[in-house]
Amino acid sequence: MTFKMHPKAVLKMFPTKKPHYTVLRISDAQDVTVTGGTIVGDRRTHQGKGGEWGMGIFIMKGSKRVTISNVRARELWGDGFHISDAEDVALCGVRAERNRRQGLSIIHGNRILVTRSMFRDTQGTRPAAGIDLEPDNPKQTITNVRIESSVFINNEGGGIMIAGKKARISRVQIQNNEFDGARPLLIEYAPRVAESHICSNRYKPFRRVDMKMFEKVARPKHTIGMQKPCKGEAQRRLW
């Protein structure tokens, strides 16, 4: 199934007070492609104060082989993009801008690719990251994730956040990205990420920052070097 929007097309959420909503939901589906257009949330016109779960594109319930290409998601009450239970998902050339909670949340998934995309100006409610990899419960896992050739600008909670307090996160590749902001990369409670490849990224702070933040984690015993040299074609070992 292919859902193709004109590059200038806009799907706009009407003002609501509901704490939960989704503009475009992909549930229990296979071989889906969504391309083009802009999804606009109701952040400026939201009628309630509670909740943080207004989503632009929500991929869930065992969906497989999903591609989101050249879609812009902005000003959502929650996340621009959200992956709750999916396999073989690719986000290519997407833009998440000025969303309230996250640019992209990955909660439970396997073989997730993010490439040539932009995540910027996420702020409003925690975690407020460009991309957040964070299971909600012990039954969820995140594995085989590749984030490459993307840009992270001025995200309040960090460019990329990896939080493994509730469940395992492993085999993550973060390569050839550019970070601009106070917190480029934050890893906490996820020591198995040390088995992954985090390399060849550029960091260009635009404000006063803690220069050690690039290697900050929640517990000192789990501290790992963020800028390992890439050896060979690392992505082939992750897929």
DSSP one-letter code for 217:
B
Indicate the pLDDT class of residue 187, thresholds 50, 70 and 90: confident
Token pair for 91: 């986000």
Indicate the pLDDT class of residue 223, thresholds 50, 70 and 90: very low
Neighbours of 26 (CB within 10 A): 22
Range(s) of the domain holding residue 215: 2-238
Could you give the C-alpha distances from 226 to 32, 198, 210, in angstroms and in order? 34, 6, 15
More confidently predicted of 20 and 220? 20
Could you report the per-residue pLDDT of 93-149, keeping only the tens digit for each?
999 999 999 999 999 999 999 999 999 999 999 999 999 999 999 999 999 999 999
Is residue 31 a contact partner of residue 3, using CB atoms and an 8 Å limit?
Answer: no
Neighbours of 108 (CB within 10 A): 21
Is residue 164 a contact partner of residue 194, using CB atoms and an 8 Å limit?
Answer: no
| C-alpha to C-alpha distance for 161 and 9, rounded to whole angstroms | 31
Domain count, the chain: 1
Could you give the C-alpha distances from 223 to 55, 175, 187, 216, in angstroms and in order? 33, 19, 9, 7
Hey, CA dihedral for 79, 188, 228, 184, is it positive or negative?
positive
Could you give the C-alpha distances from 231 to 57, 59, 169, in angstroms and in order? 35, 33, 22
| CATH number of the domain enclosing 48 | 2.160.20
pLDDT greater than 90 at residue 77: yes
pLDDT greater than 80 at residue 208: no
What share of the chain in percent tops pLDDT 70?
Answer: 83
Q: In this predicted structure, what is the pLDDT of residue 231?
A: 60
